[in-house]
Chain A
């Protein structure tokens, strides 16, 4: 039995990953990942297509069992759900008899047996969660008819309502127009500040996150480094990660990683599926 450390330097670690390795069949998709995330940090997970970003997030969410290594959530002791997971964008059937309220409600008590009997407290919690993502008044909207950005925010509310220590978001900005993407970034940032939730947000374009993220995890070919933008997005660091020469350009406050043939970090981005 492991004895948890009770005395820690503040802020406490929200996530500790040691020597993590994940393999699909016989190929290692993630290898030797070591990193620690502090409580309340806003972390961007950046990297080209197929780098292993979704795999990392799914492993943290408990959807994939690590082949090696350890994942711990020291700060989440006592909470029922250490993580709230928001999956990569998917389409809901527009005819689904499901309201935004029902989706959020499932985040609250979807793991319980039987039906959810309506009660005022439950309704209040759901509406509160929707208010946190700026969707007051959308509670009774059909879930399948929400726009991409709205559905993304409902799923964030669904994750928040279970009071998680970590919020994991997989490509929440892909296939959104600039304004909706900005709304999602703002909402997540505010939530992390107000509720003290630790955020791990995957994106192939780091620029929308530059003003809000504390540090980033840069993933290439199953390897990852963590640090601030200035520490990580450097030619020498990235050359080593990619294994060949790349250029880092800073233009008008934007950052472009050139030479990465899978996903140049330009704003147009790539359709990521």
Chain B
């Protein structure tokens, strides 16, 4: 059940700390992702940030820096070419372009394949103490931003017209939301990988929004499901050495189905 080293090995301690941090911010940012129906953006931003990590590898910079830069750039790109009621098109095109760029970096930079695999699918053994620090810093910034913007964002997500009438700057809030997603993305990708980071922003929050009767309840459920699925995943990934992203996405699906069944 609990093999030696699960809590004592340095990299496992790193995995527990970083994992818990990203599960929490996944849960809180995911709350807005689900409320706004912005699942595609939550998928696209971490995925696009992968190109930044590849680029950072080419020029020999830290991958978290590359991730963060591309996460923010893709978020701003989506905001700039989005049209009302057609976010999907903008998201798809920015995502495809970022991935094309990532492919270019990988091709001309000759990046080592296992490193790419880790960036895409996550690897808990790979988390260094340096990474933990970066993840924690980004997480704290994201949480502070979230707390500061909670009420206007909630109002705007639920009833955009009322928010506008109150004089909130709609586009500004939209960009703020996208920045929250990029913060979460930059923190998550090193741990669970670019392909699966979004499952932590979608599954737990979707389950939470089904079960919660008020916004705060939904938020609490969302964080609880996120942390629970991450802890179970870290444990199982250590037991089996299978990619952690597989477990995370599996538990997210499980919680979502469970919530839908309970509600029915």
Contacts and interface: CB of A to CB of B under 8 A. Distances in A.
Direct touching of A and B (C-beta under 8 Å): yes
A95 B86 CA distance: 10
Interface in A92-131: 93, 95
Interface string B74-97: 000000000101100000000000
5 contacts: A91-B85, A93-B85, A93-B86, A95-B83, A95-B86
A93 B87 CA distance: 12
Contacts, number: 5
- Per DSSP, chain A at the interface is loop
A239 B95 CA distance: 60
Nearest to B161: A271
Interface of A: 91, 93, 95
A182 to B, nearest CB: 26
Contacts of B83: 95
Contacts of A93: 85-86
Contacts of B86: 93, 95
Nearest to B85: A93
A174 to B, nearest CB: 15
5 closest A-B pairs by beta carbon, nearest first, are: A93-B85, A93-B86, A95-B86, A95-B83, A91-B85
A93 B86 CA distance: 8
B84 to A, nearest CB: 8
A91 B86 CA distance: 13
B113 to A, nearest CB: 42
Nearest to A271: B161
A93 B88 CA distance: 13
Contacts of A91: 85
A149 to B, nearest CB: 20
Nearest to A93: B85
A93 B83 CA distance: 10
A95 B83 CA distance: 10
Contacts of A95: 83, 86
A91 B83 CA distance: 14
Contacts of B85: 91, 93
A271 to B, nearest CB: 9
A91 B85 CA distance: 10
B89 to A, nearest CB: 9
Nearest to A92: B85
A219 B263 CA distance: 32
A176 B57 CA distance: 58
A66 B86 CA distance: 36
A218 B85 CA distance: 36
A268 B2 CA distance: 68
A93 B85 CA distance: 7
A82 B83 CA distance: 39
B128 to A, nearest CB: 48
A266 B85 CA distance: 33
